[in-house]
Amino acid sequence: MKRFWIFAMLVIAMGTFGCPGYFEFENGDVEEAGETEGLTTSGYQAEVEQENGEDGEDAWPEEEVLPPEDSAQEMEPQERLEWFVTVQMMDENGGVRNEYGNGRPYILAATMGQMMEYALRVDDKELFDKEWDFVQEHFIDNEYGLPCFAIWADNYQPKENRSSTDDDMRIVWALYEAEEKWGSEYGYKTAGEEMAGQMAEHNQYLNILSKGFAWDESGAQTSTRMDIDDLRWEVMQTLAEDDPIWRVMVVKTNQQFLTCQDQSNGLFWQEYDIVESRPEYPVGKDVCRTSHMLRGGMYYSDYKTYVPATTLHNKMKTEWEKTGKISSAYHMENLGTGNGIEEMETYALAGRNAIRLGDCDFALLMRERILLDQIDDPASPIYGSVSKNRQENGIEDDIDTLLLLEELKGCEPNQ
């Protein structure tokens, strides 16, 4: 029986299903994603929201779900983390909460895409289908056929009427991978093709894949910026083989992506302004996030060449060797000055990037650093999480770490 259901049985045995205490969190937007003093998850930068007065803000019970003490003591680090994600943060329908905003939790489409990827990595079709069914039922907009950016966790209603390319690409990629892993009889690829068709219509500007698409009663608008971590090149190339629109989009988007890497330091500008034809910081910000750079390099190495990922890896490794940390964002001037702020998501992605490049020793160092922050007190409502500061960091710290731990299983130490 899969570990997911073992964890679920722990909850049933306790006779309760609640959530940890509420914490303030930070939310972001498609057009002006950027950096704050407390950095948040990949692609969703922070503007602290005030949700006081929202209907349902007290809808979630405050009782804590804690693992039985004996079981908790026996859990390995990965099992603790799985417990936190699949029991503490996941509801009975498969929705995985990001964090808490003044008492009202929400669920990100990006998180659902990550959980689909995790299910693929651990070969859990039952979990994959549960997550995909949840996306279909609660995230896909009926008019535009794209997942909305986030829904409220208490009533599954849209939090905002917009779709992020990052989220869409994660889900499309997962559907294509599921077809390859489990066969064509389940219709995964067909569903992915349908979503990709909507992306080709709404999520591109001048045939360059843009950050996203937003709509309201007055109309709809496509972003005029590209974000480097939105580009899941492997599935984009597959789409291009059958769709001439995607073929053009891949060629044009590739040109802009390569323009975003600064050859003097290996770092990436986070965004590309399609109208102005130049790489940029996110609007109103003066740093580019490391998580976006690492995803951009990782995904490109899956598709074409390891060169961008390698130069970025060397930059990260040098900072680690000199300072004992990797910055979560960089000022691009002066050869790239790091902000000195740590995020577990950064370390998880640096490790995953290192695995692709065959540097398993560095990936193991990243694992060790992350696990120093893992909550191992069974009495804590965030037992198993690798984010000590839940006010600043969301669930992506935890899920990216889960993915790192899975990928490390096939990685041999350097010779």
pLDDT at 5 over 80: no
- CA torsion sign for 103, 106, 111, 115 is positive
pLDDT at 127 over 60: yes
Give pLDDT, residue 392. 53
CB of 215 within 8 A of CB of 144?
yes
- In the chain, % helix, strand, coil (3-state, to 5) comes to 45, 15, 40
Contacts of 201 by beta carbon, 8 Å cutoff, 6+ apart: none
Per-residue model confidence (pLDDT) at position 411: 87
Q: Would the pLDDT of 31 be above 60?
A: no
Q: What is the pLDDT of residues 318-345, one digit of tens each?
A: 999 999 999 999 999 878 899 999 999 9
Looking at residue 269, its amino acid is W
* Structure confidence by residue, pLDDT tens digits, 195-221: 999 999 999 999 999 999 999 989 999
Closest C-alpha to 370, from 357, 358, 352 = 352
Give the Cα-Cα-Cα angle 221, 28, 234 (nearest 5 degrees). 70
Binned at pLDDT 50, 70 and 90, residue 391 comes out as low
Is residue 7 over pLDDT 60?
no
pLDDT of residue 159: 94
pLDDT band at 84 (very low <50, low <70, confident <90, very high): very high
**Which H or E run includes 53?**
none
Residues 165-189: pLDDT tens digits? Answer: 999 999 999 999 999 999 999 999 9
Decide if pLDDT at 64 tops 90: no
d(CA 141, CA 146): 6
Query: b or e along 52-80 (b: 16 or more beta carbons within 10 Å of the residue's beta carbon)?
Result: eebeebeebeeebbbbeeeebeebebbbb
Contacts of 382 (CB under 8 A, 6+ apart): 20, 84, 88, 375, 390
Q: Flag whether pLDDT at 384 surpasses 90.
A: yes
Strand partners, 26: 48
Average pLDDT, the chain: 85
Sequence-ordered list of residues with C-beta below 8 angstroms from that of 314, at least 6 positions apart, any chain: 266
Across 73-86, average pLDDT: 91
Residue 388 pLDDT > 50: yes
pLDDT at residue 227, as a whole number: 98
Which is more confident, 192 or 387?
A: 192
CB distance 202 to 220 below 8 Å: yes
pLDDT number for residue 70: 60
pLDDT at residue 387 is higher than 90: no
> Which of these, 353, 328, 331, lies nearest to 342 by C-alpha position?
328
Has residue 120 got a pLDDT over 90?
yes
Q: Rg of the Cα trace of the chain?
A: 20
On whether the CB atoms of residues 363 and 351 are closer than 8 A, the answer is: yes
Is the pLDDT assigned to residue 288 strictly greater than 60?
yes
User: Taking residues 149-157, what's their average pLDDT?
Assistant: 96
Domains located in the chain, CATH noted:
3-408 (1.50.10.10)
CA 318, distance to chain mean position in Å, is 25
Residue 53: CB partners within 8 Å, gap ≥ 6? none
In this predicted structure, which of 34-38, 106-110, 380-384 has the lowest mean pLDDT? 34-38
* Token representation of residue 154: 């208490």
